Structures are given as structure tokens and as C-alpha cells.
Structure 1
């Protein structure tokens, strides 16, 4: 799709796109086009399916021939997206095929825009891959967390991967630098997590018996004088789970603005690392096409590498 959709577009609906209402399909495909304009062109009959007018509730079928009229936008879709960030995302792609993208998400970039953010990973990828008819997040990472992130390029791949997530068939492994000496014998934290949304819209999570059952398994990777590098494997997938479980264990993650230790964070920032020290280092799942298990690794960024390799004696 072009940014301004200025030309007539002819689209053949694929098998994994069928059974969607046409209005929902157009809202997803015509990124940046106001919903009011989408419903207007449907109402006027400018959108045709198999050369016929259709109503917004029409459900698309495989091999439907969809004709979209020229649509001119007042503001280009990518006008507010920094080109340097787009280039950074291109370099962050670990793997890509016709069904999915594995990205080493940079710290500080949200997975999608919203809540005052104009730019996110998904918006950037849609600019990088303007001809991709389908790009959707398989799962999420916190804005300040870096590492392995899956994006589906087909609806069938999204369904396949979501089923794996529901069946606990996707293994995610994180690395976290935490304050203090994590005990070697402490292999897991089981504590219910309760999510609370403040009036500002900010999400805060705490250990509370009223919360949902949550479990994270841990393994010590490296021990330093004042901190520990741990491997964290979430068994459940709750919001801020690893961060809050680390805090609950008495070992907050370095540079965690929500759940961290201010004095410890100050010393870490003095070493040149001002980002959350949590990284999705590895992900393992069944490829939606081959049904074979695949594993991907995401290297640390420069700040984490410098902190853990160059400044480890100060940790």
C-alpha cells in the first residue's frame, strides 16, 4: 500500500483473510485513513467486491476480488516517523520470511503507537514494508525492554502462534541485571499479580492475593560485587511479571523507573547505562509453516554490552 493510496488498488483476498467483515479489513489495511472516510467510500459504493457494492458487515471470502478507489490523505501516514528510527528497525530484524518477522526490539521504542506516542514498532514496520498486507504483533514487550519480538505477516501465522502461546508452547528467556546477590537456590518466584490502572492511565502491578497466579523461573548467570545477572523464564505471561517478581524477591531490576531502587539505579546510570536492564534474549516456538521448532537469539545493545563486559568490575 502506498502512503496516500492515490491509485486504484485491486486485491485478491487470500484464505487466511476470509471471514472478516470488510469494514474491519479496510480499517486494518488502510492505515492512517480515518474511519469516517472508510465508511463513506463503502456507503457510496466506491469499494467493490467482485464488481458489486457491499455493506460494511459483508464478510470477505477467499478469492474475492476487491477494488479500492483512490484515496488522498491530508497528512502522509509516515510524516511523524523519524527516518533514523526506521533505519534502526531495519537493522534490528533478526529473521524474516513470508509469514513472520523476528525483531530485536530496541529499548525505548513502544511496540505500537498510542497514549500520546506517534511511533511504535508496528508503525515503523508498516513503513518499511508498505506492500505487506498484514503486519500484526504476536505478543508484546514493555517499551523499555529490548529483545525478541514476533510480528506475523499472515493471519494464519498469527492464529498459529497465538495457539502456541495459549498452550504454553512458546519459550521466552530473558536476562536481567538485578540489585544484590540472587541466591543460587532460588529457582522460582510464585506470587499472584494484581494490575491497577491509575487515573493517568499508567499501569502499576503489585503482588496481591487478589491477583492472578503467576510464576517466573530463575537461574544465576553471573555474580558481581553488588548485583547479579539472572536468566528469567516466565511460566505465565502477566503484565510487568518479571519486573515485579524480581522486586518481590528483594532484587529489583537495574534502572527500572517503576519498580527499581533509586540509589542503585543512580550508580548504574553513572556507568553510562540509563535503560531498563531487562532483555528478551531468546525465543523458541514451532514455525507456522514448517511445524519445526526454531530458536532465535537477540544480542545485547551497546549500552548493555558495555555495562556487562566493560564495567563489570564496577557492578
Structure 2
């Protein structure tokens, strides 16, 4: 059986036999990956209506696929996949220099600030499209988690679906440890070690999407630790326990200490004083990543160095 492709308009029923790489994957996640370009709501609708069948029977979105399961996929119109950028582009070749660790099942990148993890919204390409162009032989490259476009640092990419499932399980079980460095306004109080504040996504009248602390939001927790104090700022380590959009940025603001250079949640006066030191970006960096390797089970620890802008900002603060 052939694997469903995401760059055709399918007008006939397709059948897919589950191979070892997909064993244990949820049916909905399999279909969302196989039918890129199809709205998520439509994927769930065809499951709910019984148009998707597993071994000729109806099933639920959370069904875990088994070896040799036969999946019936009904006719659906799939958006044509955007072509990958040329691997010859300097910006694509430059990604090679940001690889912190790589083996046959995964890689860890030190993502530069300003690079989105995905293309779209007028962007020519994002990190994952660039890596697919750089590694055309790796057919199953997928982001394990995300970073905001303005945030730099450690980001994990899987090369095998089995590795992706294993790493996602670590995220769900909170056994993957992500530690960020953030420069925040003012003197962070030593007793504020945890921020527990539910977060809710909102869309403003302008169309801008923001996240707010809201009692109706999703439970969210970030742990903070003071690394270094300066006259008007503090360098803190932030460890997100949950993984909500803009979580560290909004929790720092909620604690009364917005992050330097934050275009959505920052404080204008503080940002101006940081710009005078040469800080022209958000000072949020995913510095360390701890996880268990999907194949060996060994604990992996990756450290992403700060870029020159962040290093120079700290140097100037120390010598102010």
C-alpha cells in the first residue's frame, strides 16, 4: 500500500496499511499529517461520520494504530504542497551552522531569532521547510515542539515518526526539561519561584492575536530562578511546565516583569533603554534542553549559546 500524499486532489477512496513507523500513533494525528492542507475540522468530521474506517469498522479519533491495520481514507481535496526553497540559498545553507546535535533519528537546532518555525503568512519559508530542503533524504522531518518567531535557542526536530511519538510522550509526561534565559524589567523578587496563571488566547479588534491571564483559560505553570541582577533588570531562568502559546512572556508580565524587547507584552520605556544598549530583539532564549533519547534511552543535554546581540547586552549591563 502506498502512503497518502499531501500534494494531490484525491477524488477516490485510498487505502493505507499501517507499517511499524506508525504503530501507536493516534488516528487523528496520522490523518492530520497525511492530509496536510485539509482543515482540521474536516478531518474530525470524516472520522465522526464514519467515512474513515479502520479494518472496515468505524473508530474514534484517539484510536491507537496497530501494525497491519488497514485505513480507509475517503475522497478529500488536499491543498497542493508549497514547493520547498532551494537548498542552494545562502539562508538554507546557513542552517547547517545552527545544528547543535544530530543523529539518525533527531536533530537539535539553535534557532536564530526572527526565523519562524513554519512558513506561511507571507513568509517564503520557515525552519522546517529550510531543513527539509537541506536534508532531502530525511523524508519524515517534523518539529517536536515550537518556538515563537522572536525566540531563539534549542528546538528539537525528529527524523522518524517513531521518534516523534516517543518525544511527544515525554512532553505529555513532562519528562522533557526546557530552560530559557530571559532578561526582564526591574528586580525580580527571590520568593517568586513559580507563576501559576491560566492563559487564554484572544483576538483583538485589529486582528492581532494575544494571550492573557484569564480564569477561563488553560492551566499554565512556569518556574523562575534568578541568574543575575542588574540596576534596572534581572536575568532569570524560566522553565515552562506546561506549553502554552507565549507562556513565559505572559507569565513574566503577570509577575510584573515584562521581558526586554517584547513587541506584544513589553514595556516601552524599559525597551527603549535596552535598545540604547543595542538590544534589537526579544531577550528570550531557549538555552537548555534535556530529554531521553528515543533509541538508547540515554539522557541528552543540549546547550544553545547566546547570540552576539544578547551577549553584548549582558556585557554592557555588567559594565554600566
Query: TM-score, normalised to structure 1's length?
Result: 0.77
Pair 1:268-2:297 in alignment: no
Q: How does 1:12-31 map to 2 (within 5 A)?
A: 15-17=20-22
Contact 1:234 1:241 in 2 (8 A): yes
Inter-CA distance 139–311: structure 2 relative to 1 (3 Å threshold):
same
Inter-CA distance 85–192: structure 2 relative to 1 (3 Å threshold):
same
Q: Which of 73, 77, 95 is matched with 2:84 structurally?
A: 77
**How far 1:271 sits from its partner (Å)?**
1.6
Inter-CA distance 163–201: structure 2 relative to 1 (3 Å threshold):
farther
The 2-side partners of 1:289 and 1:90 are apart by 24
Inter-CA distance 16–259: structure 2 relative to 1 (3 Å threshold):
same
Inter-CA distance 57–112: structure 2 relative to 1 (3 Å threshold):
farther
Contact 1:224 1:313 in 2 (8 A): no
The 2-side partners of 1:109 and 1:26 are apart by 25
**How far 1:25 sits from its partner (Å)?**
7.1
The 1-side partners of 2:130 and 2:91 are apart by 8
Pair 1:259-2:290 in alignment: no
What does residue 138 of structure 2 align with? 132
Contact 1:23 1:57 in 2 (8 A): no
Number of equivalenced pairs: 269
Query: TM-score, normalised to structure 2's length?
Result: 0.75
Q: Which of 298, 301, 306 is matched with 1:295 structurally?
A: 301
> Over residues 225-284 of structure 1, what are the superposed CA-to-partner deviations in whole Å (9 max), with x where a residue is unaligned?
110000111111111111001111111000000000111111211222211000001011
Q: Secondary structure at the match of 1:196?
A: strand
Q: Secondary structure at the match of 1:85?
A: helix
Contact 1:193 1:211 in 2 (8 A): yes
**How far 1:116 sits from its partner (Å)?**
2.0
The 1-side partners of 2:206 and 2:148 are apart by 18
Inter-CA distance 204–17: structure 2 relative to 1 (3 Å threshold):
same
> Over residues 179-198 of structure 1, what are the superposed CA-to-partner deviations in whole Å (9 max), with x where a residue is unaligned?
10101221111111111134
Inter-CA distance 26–191: structure 2 relative to 1 (3 Å threshold):
closer
Q: Secondary structure at the match of 1:237?
A: coil
The 1-side partners of 2:90 and 2:265 are apart by 31
What does residue 196 of structure 1 align with? 202
Q: How does 1:212-231 map to 2 (within 5 A)?
A: 212-231=218-237
Pairwise CA RMSD of aligned residues? Answer: 3.1
Where does structure 2 lack aligned partners over 5 or more consecutive residues? Answer: 1-17, 39-51, 56-64, 69-79
Where does structure 1 lack aligned partners over 5 or more consecutive residues? Answer: 1-12, 29-33, 36-55, 63-72
What does residue 246 of structure 1 align with? 252
The 2-side partners of 1:82 and 1:263 are apart by 42
Q: Secondary structure at the match of 1:162?
A: helix
